[in-house]
Homo-oligomer: A and B are copies of this chain.
Amino acid sequence: MSSATVGIEVFDVDLTAAMSVAFNDHQYDYVVAPLVHPRFVRDVNAHNAIGGFTRSDTLLGSSQWNNQVLGTTSSWLELDALDEPLRVRSEAAFKQEIAWAAHLGLSAVIIPPPREPAVNYARCVARALAGLHYLRLLVRIPLVASPPLSGEGATAGGGGPVLDGDVSWRWWNQMRVLCDHHKNLYPALELTADLPSDPAVLERWCGEPVQVLILPTSIFLANRHGFPVLSKAHQAFVLRMSNHRVQYVVSGVARSDKGGMASYAEYMRHLLQRDPAKAQAGDAFDAPYRDVLQAPLQPLQDNLESQTYETFERDPVKYDLYEEAVRKALLARFPDASVTVVLMVVGAGRGPLVRAAFRAASAAKRTLRVYAVEKNPNAVVTLMAQKESLAQWRDSVTVVSADMRTWQAPELADILVSELLGSFGDNESSPECLDGAQKFLKPDGISIPRSYVSFVAPITSHRLHNEVRAMGGDAKHFETPYVVKLHNVKLLAPPQPCFTFVHPTPQPANNDRFGSLTFRVDCDALLHGFAGYFDATLYDDVHCSIEPSTHSPAMFSWFPLFFPLRSPTLVTAGAPLTVSFWRRTDGHRMYYEWAVTAPFVTSIHNPGGRSYYIGL
């Protein structure tokens, strides 16, 4: 989002006058207004009454309706009323108002909180969504539910201890599940004076597709000059959410603060401009990739393109780590500086690891004889060009155009350097490739990387799951892991180690793996799948990691993996969540299978690699 968009909720009968004040006097960007003003009397069941139930659509141009107005539905609607005539009348009015908003070309309508039971309300929303193409429905959800009126919702939350803010989140969760996770349904989150005491409960909204943040004037404090400001805690949450392309709506009347309604808009713009997240390094690179699912590379089947090499070579951190690892290995294992160390780069690509090795040798004052082995003939062209143009390469680099698994090396290597790791460590067949290359490593030779561990964490992410659904609803899309910059995501527990590979390893190696992990999730949430990471030991204490707690700073070469679940399922805070992962190989293919066995049981995903595999 280029700059903050701040709207204001108005209730005036004269919409154009209210808009004039909001835009010109108070500097808001848009208004939120009732689709039908209560003063318009109507009988929704009488066909001949239609036509006079609200303002004319010609009041504004269609671009204004689209950009400057969000609608709200009438406050008298009771879609779950036990009184049947009231319920039937409410259903008809709700349908009429949503149809009217679609007719006007509004971008969104904010609909009321689905206080329990809200099941017939959800049916009306599902019915409305089925007929909409463009209009979004935003469900108003208070951050913390106010105590129920006259006993309604008294049993909300079901069994177990109810955390702050769990009740209202459950309203949202029930609504979106009943509506089958519809892509045009979003929460409009209304801040409350009290924030949930549990940070996990607040953080949970980072995994939900929040589109609008509603800021009641009543939650603002007055600063020493009398102007409205938010508490530190509210500021922190607003800034956290600003990273998720939300819009803002100020709601309520100006309090005794100075500056009237204009001061709220001014404050919000001020607050959002100093957003520190915007200034973070890497953001510019990340932004277009956030929550965009990519199929994992098939490096053994496909040759990378020049642009892909270029992107990865630009990582400012990764090759420094390799250089440091090679330097430490040279110093520790080759004390005699007069010996020429045989170093083989397997999967040399366009040469970044060769260059890193030479930098390391130079720093360690050691001499190298380098073999650069590469199966992609296009990259070999680049390697040969460097050998011709660079004196250092001309003297000591042998470029080999071959698959490392079948190449017959003329001598054995002291050090074998590779960069075959995928987001999940072993998921681009590094183990199989290095098993093949290991035969030309001396018995006491060094593999860089020395080892790697994959990590798994349970996540909630309405958005990522819907991205998978958008591929067509076919089960196979839910049985594929995706490379994705996790953004509109909440981790439900810290990642745990899953599979470990060490190189060199006794041959023939068994690269099948099986692991069961048990997590304690930190809040009630809809489990959408699992995040996958890796942490590699290049040499000694030199790590290359994308596991969040040890992530190599500023390294951007890898995004995590997302392993979806076919059916998002509720998990509850504190209850053990057990998932099993398998890595399976059959000589031609490598694939993962995964299944949850507690607190619920899923089918085994991707059995036999039926939906996704890496060709070997």
Contact = CB atoms under 8 A, between A and B. Distances in A.
Contacts of A127: 607-608
A122 B604 CA distance: 9
Of A174, A177, A575, most B-chain CB atoms within 10 Å: A177
Interface string A155-198: 00011000000000000011001111100000000000000000
A179 B119 contact: no
Contacts of A569: 600
A126 interface: yes
A601 interface: yes
A512 B120 CA distance: 13
A117 B127 CA distance: 43
Categorize the interface residue count of chain A: 35 or more
Contact of A117 (B177, B516, B608): B516
Contacts of A84: 510
Contact of A158 (B158, B178, B514, B598): B598
Of A88, A122, A158, A603, most B-chain CB atoms within 10 Å: A603
Interface string A35-52: 000000000000000000
A510 B567 CA distance: 37
Q: Is the interface of A mostly helix, strand, loop or mixed?
A: mixed
A614 B331 CA distance: 81
B595 A88 contact: no
A407 interface: no
Interface in A115-160: 117, 119-120, 122-123, 126-127, 130, 158-159
A580 interface: yes
A178 B88 contact: no
A597 interface: yes
Contacts of A570: 600-601
B178 A603 contact: yes
Given A87-B514, A512-B88, A514-B87, A178 B604 contact: yes
A537 interface: no
A42 to B, nearest CB: 20
A178 B607 CA distance: 10
Given A174-B597, A174-B601, A601-B178, A120 B608 contact: no
Contacts of A130: 607-608, 610
B180 A119 contact: no
A49 B603 CA distance: 35
A249 to B, nearest CB: 28
A569 B568 CA distance: 12
17 contacts: A84-B510, A117-B597, A119-B516, A119-B597, A122-B604, A123-B580, A123-B593, A123-B595, A126-B607, A127-B608, A130-B610, A178-B603, A178-B604, A180-B603, A180-B607, A181-B603, A567-B567
The 4 A-B pairs with the shortest beta carbon distances in the complex, nearest first, are A180-B603, A177-B601, A119-B580, A126-B607
Given A122-B604, A127-B607, 9 more contacts: A87-B514, A120-B514, A123-B582, A123-B593, A126-B607, A177-B601, A180-B604, A567-B567, A569-B600
Interface of A: 84, 87-88, 117, 119-120, 122-123, 126-127, 130, 158-159, 173-174, 177-181, 510, 512, 514, 516, 567, 569-570, 575, 580, 582, 593, 595, 597-604, 607-608, 610
